[in-house]
Amino acid sequence: MLRLTVSGPPGSGTSTLVDKICQSRDWTSLNGGEIFRNEAANRGLSVVQFSALCKQDLDVDRALDTKLKEIISSKNSPDVVESRLSGWWAHQLGLDCLRVWVSVSDEERARRIQNREGGDFTGRLQESIQRQADDNQRYLELYGIDMSDMAPYNLIVDADNIDADEVFRLVSNELGG
């Protein structure tokens, strides 16, 4: 059964947090971003290109999100689900779980993405800002979700000036036991 959703923009450290939580508690997880990236790869597209396709063909995005909602609301759901909208879906579905948003600045996200994937900082910053804007517009069009609205989340972590271990500690303390 779902215990935790972890959301945040690309480069915010959500995958690292999920890995640490799952290792420390022997929990299972599902990465919605991985589903997105796998579908992009299956279509021979980069994440940026697939994001643009999803913006043009909203049925692609709806199908991925419907699949994710079915998974998180099932009794066999993983313990942790990571995706930008998983907190929204859990909130809308009335699921009793901790819903975490990990927040970081555009610059910090670009640095982290550059460290993970290479490229120059300015290019990564521009890509990151554009992808975030495209995705935010798409979520608003698709579902009426304003990604600046943090109401669905019961824990918001500002991770700009803290490391992954501190983010883990904050979330782990909130989970208790």
Render pLDDT for 116-159 as a digit per residue (tens, 0 to 9). Answer: 889 999 999 999 899 889 889 889 988 999 999 999 999 999 99
Render pLDDT for 99-127 as a digit per residue (tens, 0 to 9). Answer: 999 999 999 989 988 988 899 999 999 99
Render pLDDT for 37-59 as a digit per residue (tens, 0 to 9). Answer: 888 999 999 988 998 888 788 89
Does residue 64 contact residue 71 with C-beta atoms inside 8 Å?
no
DSSP 81: E
The number of beta carbons lying within 10 Å of the beta carbon of residue 36 is 20
Q: Chain-wide mean pLDDT for the chain?
A: 93
> To the nearest whole percent, how much of the chain has pLDDT over 90?
73
Number of domains in the chain: 1
Does residue 138 contact residue 58 with C-beta atoms inside 8 Å?
yes
pTM of the model: 0.87
Give the domain extent around 88: 4-175
Does residue 16 have a pLDDT over 90? yes
Q: How confident is the model at residue 75 (pLDDT cuts 50, 70, 90)?
A: very high
List Cβ neighbours of 54 (8 Å cut-off, separation of 6 or more).
60, 61, 64, 138
Span 20-36, mean pLDDT?
Answer: 93
What CATH number is attached to the domain comprising 61?
3.40.50.300
